[in-house]
Structure 1
Amino acid sequence: MRGLKDLAAALRRRLRPSLPPPGGEEVLQFIRDGHRFVWSPPEIRRQIQSHGINIVPADFYSNIPLIEDLETTFEGAPTRRPVYDKVFDAERIAAFLAGIAPFAAEFIPPDEGDEAACSSFFWKNSQFSWTDAMAYYCILRARKPKRVIEIGCGFSTLVADAALRMNGSGEIIAIEPFPRPFLPRIGTVSEIIRARVQDIPRARVLDLVGGADILFIDSTHTVKIGSDCLYLYLTVLPDVRSRLLVHSHDIFLPFGMPLDWARDRQIYWTEQYLLYAYLLQNPFARVVFGSTYATEFLAAQTLSLMGGKCPPGGGSLWFELNAGV
């Protein structure tokens, strides 16, 4: 969620300048200590984790990629390759992009703003921008939804609010365990559910989603025991029977995840691989737009959509469920 991302970024900014990189005997001592602690009992590991640190094995079976594996991955290193492309239809995506483009001219947010005290969207925020923001605005203007469910809220909610106000109708139900201060002040937000989505009973989530036109997902991006991604893609979406347009964020399909995120930032998000498996040969789901795909393979159309207001790019993926309903 955005609150957790902000916390991680703040910790990195605060700690990195004051802590010189370790070396020599310090590294060797850490390795010795690591071998002791990696198999320590749960109560010790819980204490370590409470300080924002995990000590896990690094071997053939590790779910965290080894740095040497990143250098030889079939996804492409150093030049990435579109190896996950079977769910993309260029003609469909180009037609979808053409359908939302007429609304782009009216979306003119400022470049700058104050993340701590903003009341409307601006391009140079740290969370949600580029083609992601432009497409979201245009999609809501084109579809004119009565209800938008956002799982993970923040600057995307400001974009949705601007579009719904232009539409003259529509509500946002926000599911966000760590809401930003401005969230309760957004006029089109009718309800804020301060909880992790996986802690909300499935029947309640299905009821909310069943009454929505748009489901906007910005999750933890993790595939692990009990994660929000498992809950949504494996227990919620398969039981949706109504027509629904779904968004997932920080998805870089048809490419793999950015290798430098894992190598340099220790971000090991795997949501997009679960999502790709969910979409493959799924007769009830079809991809209609992707920011990464459009930027790479429909460059002229995407540049036209952006109109020089902000560079193209981003990680939004949009797919439609039950389009024939």
Structure 2
Amino acid sequence: MDDIDRAIEVLAACHPREIQRRGWHFQKNNYYSALNDCAFLESNRDLWDTLELPEDIDWNIEGQLATAKEVGRFVDELRDVPETGPQPGPSWDGTFHWVNGMWNNADAIVQYGLMRSRSPKRVIEVGCGWSSVLMAKALSRNEQKTHVTMIEPNPRDALLKRLPPDWTLKTHMLQRVPLDLFTELEAGDVLFYDGSHVAKAASDVNWFFFRVLPRVNPGVLIHVHDIFFPGEYPEPWIFDRCQTWNEQYLLHAFLMHNEKYRVVIANRMLAALRRDEVERAYKGVRPAIGASFWMMKT
């Protein structure tokens, strides 16, 4: 018996709540577990490693391409964005740069272009970071004044100090924000969501889909991040990080036979299906690849 086997033997004898209380989870692989079983996935690749368009959803591919061309009208404004720079901290001057590890390429281009093209009166951003920095850059060039509300339970002070002082910050988890806030969004406004990516009891993902979206008015533009249609979550995330995100599956089911929402642009999908046309629209400023998903309530 090696050290790992001995550790497993000790942990298996503990009550799961005692392990959780110390900040960890420990459970045996089994059919009912919500966690990915890497051995099962490796031996059954044909069940998941595909690039097929999910069925029974109107993907609006031509409309997506039109959105890419729409945002492409503003890519020249991003040519001055530096490739690299410091992370938010004492030496950071608030400048957005491409290699930030979180928000770049097509995701940044589309967000910037939609903020410029649609010029929303209100934006609610759930989950703040580099996307907030780029949004501030875009909105500063619009004639329309935009009221921005940020919902971020773990804000970074260095980042917040560089954002417009009139933006409203709510340091609560999404589930504790009054739902009336979301009914204030009107047609043309934006709901930008980048949360935990995990649907489970009392999670922000469940709250967003089951409590927030029903209260959003028609015409509101809605963003969800880290969506990889027509493929799966990235293989390194599954096998190297042993990461079990499932928000994409919930979104998949949500969109099936759903005529109340129209796909505006799915960055990973459009790059997979119409890469050359998207690259032309973005004029080579950055690669077309991304993982943002935008839809509109109709």
TM-score normalised by the chain length of structure 1: 0.83
- Determine the structure 2 residue equivalent to 1:3: none
Q: CA distance change for structure 1 residues 210 and 227 in 2, over 3 Å: closer, same or farther?
A: farther
- Determine the structure 2 residue equivalent to 1:47: 21
- After superposition, the C-alpha distances for 1:152-193 in whole angstroms (9 at most, x for unaligned) are 011101111111111133232111111122224312752011
Q: CA distance change for structure 1 residues 295 and 189 in 2, over 3 Å: closer, same or farther?
A: farther
Q: Is the 8 A contact 2:122 2:185 kept in 1?
A: no
- Determine the structure 2 residue equivalent to 1:20: none
Task: Say whether residues 1:99 and 2:76 are aligned partners.
Answer: no
Q: Is the 8 A contact 2:187 2:220 kept in 1?
A: no
Cα distance in 2 between the residues matched to 1:188 and 1:248 = 26
CA RMSD of aligned residues (A): 1.9
Task: Say whether residues 1:193 and 2:170 are aligned partners.
Answer: yes
Task: Say whether residues 1:303 and 2:273 are aligned partners.
Answer: no
- Determine the structure 1 residue equivalent to 2:4: 27
Cα distance in 1 between the residues matched to 2:161 and 2:151 = 12
| SS of equivalent residue, structure 1 residue 289 | strand
Q: Is the 8 A contact 1:164 1:171 kept in 2?
A: no
1:135 Cα deviation from its structure 2 partner: 0.6
Matches within 5 A, 1:215-294: 215-294=191-270
Query: Identity over the aligned pairs, expressed in percent?
Result: 28
Q: Is the 8 A contact 1:110 1:123 kept in 2?
A: yes
Q: Is the 8 A contact 1:128 1:156 kept in 2?
A: yes
| SS of equivalent residue, structure 2 residue 123 | strand
2:87 to 115, 119, 134: 115
1:301 Cα deviation from its structure 2 partner: 2.2
Cα distance in 2 between the residues matched to 1:206 and 1:94 = 29
2:142 to 152, 167, 182: 167
| SS of equivalent residue, structure 1 residue 132 | helix
- Determine the structure 2 residue equivalent to 1:12: none
**Paired amino acid for 1:271:** E
Cα distance in 2 between the residues matched to 1:89 and 1:69 = 34
Q: Is the 8 A contact 2:125 2:192 kept in 1?
A: yes
| SS of equivalent residue, structure 1 residue 112 | coil
**Paired amino acid for 2:148:** I
- After superposition, the C-alpha distances for 1:60-95 in whole angstroms (9 at most, x for unaligned) are 111001112222145544xx3224253412111112
1:246 Cα deviation from its structure 2 partner: 0.4
Q: Structure 2 unaligned segments of length 5 or more: list them.
A: none
Greater RCO between the two (CA within 8 Å, min separation 6)?
Answer: 2
